[in-house]
Structure 1
Amino acid sequence: MEKCTFSTVTQKYLDSYAGILDTMTGTMNCAKENDSISYNFIVKMIPHHQAAIRISEELLRYTTCIALQNIATEIVVTQTKETEEMRKMLCGCAGYRNDGQSLCGYRRQYGIIVTNMFSRMRSACPDNDINISYIRQMIPHHEGGIAMCRNAMRFSICPQLRAVLKDAVKAQVKGIEEMKKLLQCKV
């Protein structure tokens, strides 16, 4: 099988992406959990959001595509705000406890979601066009985030968190639609 050759700039972007993905995966996998779905969700979603922010900031260093600049900037702004909101509500939401059966159901589905997301993000086909690589990487990231939110919302969670998750799903669905349109046009 022939190895792909990338431009120096593309290789720098892809190397940075790989590092960000490794950090996200490790941080999400090592987050300490308790008997609160709300708390468990937050401590894993914060590094998920931080990765989207860092990947988007990395893209903004290189892209000249205005539509993608707008999408990446929106991700940085929205997910920075959501991360701050989740940090503020973490202690209060940690007291919102769940029974063992709910925790087991939540964790089982969460494991399936993130295993799929991590796999799809790692196997996103890189391209010498950084814009295309970013879209191929960010779509499974967003789809994983949406699935994580929907999984948490199936259970009894902190009311403040539920409102944040509804907004996050709405924003990420919109972002996926925009990125898929750009990908169809080959950016």
Structure 2
Amino acid sequence: MGHSLMGGQPMDQHFIVMMIPHHDGAIAMADLALGRARRPEIKALARSIKDSQTQENAQMRTWYRQWFGGSVPAWGGAMGHGGGMGMMGMGGLGGTGTDVAWLKNASDFDRAFIEQMIPHHRMGVMMASMAQTNSQHPQLQALEQAMVTAQSQEIEQMAQWYRSWYGTS
């Protein structure tokens, strides 16, 4: 197809395999926030992130079965760590382990949540916008665009809260 990566794996396949665990990280952080956040704004944002990203993961899993056969491999399974979007491998791990453990113990949960979620979202936006330019499937391209739009808005919203609540960027 021309737009393939390591081992001839299409960009769309690679993107889905990387984005699902990245979403899982945000969902795990959002779950914590639903229980621990003090500010209603953070709880509302967490609910929105959890709902939208859970839905997106379900959609990507469905497409993966339709387009590539079988279910989405666990992170790192067929991927290897070189080439293409491999440099974003870190993003696939964000929030699944250390971020969540660290967040659990944060003394100011709301502040820590924003400090973790902004870079996590930035990585997601970067992954989605890069994948979008090479996507073979219009439906996935539209989803990638929607991710870029939604997460960029959420980043801006969190940055505004951070400035107004903590007086710093």
How many residues get paired? 142
Alignment of 1:184 with 2:158, yes or no, is no
Alignment of 1:80-95 (within 5 A): 80-94=54-68
**Is residue 2:137 matched to residue 1:158?**
yes
Q: How big is each residue's C-alpha offset from its partner over 1:84-109, in whole Å with a ceiling of 9 and x where there is no partner?
A: 110110123338xxxxxxxxxxx645
Q: Is the contact made by 1:68 and 1:131 (CA closer than 8 Å) also made in structure 2?
A: yes
- Rate the CA distance shift 1:83–1:129 in 2: closer, same or farther, 3 A: same
Instruction: Sort the Cα spacing of 1:48 and 1:80 in 2 relative to 1 into closer, same or farther, 3 A.
Output: same
1:69-108 aligned at under 5 Å gives the runs 69-94=43-68, 108=83
- Structure 1 runs of 4+ aligned residues shifted over 2 Å read 91-95, 111-119, 125-128
Give 2:11's aligned residue. Answer: 37
Gaps of 5+ in 2: 1-6, 70-81
Residue 134 of structure 1: aligned partner: 113
Partners of 2:91 and 2:142 in 1: CA distance? 26
Q: 1:111 aligns with which of 79, 86, 95?
A: 86
**More divergent stretch after superposition (108-117 vs 42-51):** 108-117
**TM-score with structure 2 setting the length:** 0.73
Q: 1:55 to 1:116 in 2, by over 3 A?
A: closer
- Displacement, 1:184? 0.6
Alpha carbons of structure 1 residues 114 and 164: separation in structure 2 relative to 1, 3 Å = same
Match status 1:146 vs 2:125? yes
* Paired residues of 1:60 and 1:69 also in contact (CA < 8 A): yes
TM-score, structure 1 as length reference: 0.67
Q: Which amino acid aligns with 1:161?
A: L
- Give the root-mean-square deviation of aligned CA atoms: 2.7
Question: Which structure 1 residue ranges, 5 or more long, are not aligned?
Answer: 1-32, 96-106
